[in-house]
Amino acid sequence: MAIKFPSDAWIKALMEKLNESEAYQDAARNWEGDFYFIVQKSPGVPQNAHLYMDLWHGKCRDAYEVSDPGQKKPEFTINAPLPTWKKVLNKKLDPIQGLVTRQLKLQGNLMKVMKAPKAAVELVNCATQVDTEWPD
């Protein structure tokens, strides 16, 4: 059954995929950092959606949709409109290329992210395994 993006159920499904993935665990074994993935308000997304992930040494320790973005101060935020997220999650836009070209807007240490490109790719690979229902 497809899971609506962006939502709490979707980010939790991604957490499950990450924690099952040996490829992600290997690629991210040295990664430490948490994120807000922000999906900008657009048709089908009535307000900015903030999806939080705590990524730590190849595991996702926690993941959920945040109703009050002030409740967390993650090390990184990645902000983009829905069509850009859809391109990333459908493997039509490489996440590192998206950051470099500013299609994905990063707040945080870009050099740290650039040192873990395989982790970003494996995270996207896991995301493609979530049966996703896109808003109209």
For residues 60 and 35, give the distance between their C-alpha atoms in angstroms, rounded to a whole number. 11
∠ CA(66), CA(101), CA(136), 5° rounding?
50
Could you tell me the two tokens for 11?
Answer: 């980010």
Q: What is the DSSP letter of 45?
A: B
Taking only the tens place, the pLDDT of each residue in 25-49 is: 999 999 999 999 999 998 889 999 9
Verify cis geometry, omega within 30 degrees of 0, for the bond prior to 6: yes
Retrieve residue 13's tokens.
């499904």
Domains of the chain plus CATH, in order, are 3-130 (3.30.1050.10)
Alpha-carbon dihedral sign for residues 125, 34, 12, 78: negative
Q: What is the pLDDT of residues 115-130, one digit of tens each?
A: 999 999 999 999 999 9
Q: What is the pTM of this model?
A: 0.94
